[in-house]
Each structure stands twice: as structure tokens, then as C-alpha cells.
Amino acid sequence: MYAVVETGGKQYKVSVGQVVDVEKLAVEEGQIVELDRVLMVAQEGAIKVGTPLVEGAKIRAKVLSHDRGRKVLAFRYMPKERIRVRKGHRQEFTRLQIEGIIA
């Protein structure tokens, strides 16, 4: 059994027991969060596809931690102008463990 869920403007294919990193959520560590924007649910050969969402479907997940990803460097320069700009960015994310798919 698996599902496709949307959170933070991105889509994730999840199954029970899987650990997934999503865009940062405003939820404390250790709490249970329900993701209700489920786009598709597949179980035992039967597939439910929403238009755009599957009615009554939810994903229950436990918040394991909040962290920051690898640093991504952005570098901009203008030749012959003595302009050099280097910036770094670390995206924040929330690590979720999928506990159940309610279809």
C-alpha cells in the first residue's frame, strides 16, 4: 500500500514505515501530524486517483526531527568589474516517519 501526498508544494510517494524529508512544518518533534492533501492511494491492486484530492484519505506521520540540508552555493560575478558575490543557503526540512495511510 502506498500513496502520493502533496506538502510544501512538492509531491511524495510514501508507504507505511518510510522516513521522508519534507519542507519544514510548524509542528513540535514527537507529535503526530495528519497530511490531508492525498492525490492518489494504491492498495492491493486497486488505485484511487483524486480529482484533485482523494475524498477522506489522510496520511498519519510522526515528526522525528527538524534539520537543515546541505549548503548550496550561489556565485555571481561580473568580469572586469571587481564584483564577486558568493552566497550560501541551507534549506530547512522536517523528517517524518509514516505511521498509517487512511483511505
DSSP string, the chain: -EEEEEETTEEEEEETT-EEEEE--S--TT-EEEE--EEEEEETTEEEE-SSS-TT-EEEEEEEEEEE---EEEEEEETTTTEEEEEEE--EEEEEEEEEEE-
Return the residue matching grid coordinates 508544494: 9
- pLDDT tens for the chain, 103 residues: list them: 999 999 999 999 999 999 999 999 999 999 999 999 999 999 988 999 999 999 999 999 999 999 999 999 999 999 999 999 999 999 999 999 999 999 8
How far does CA 56 lie from the centroid of its chain? 20
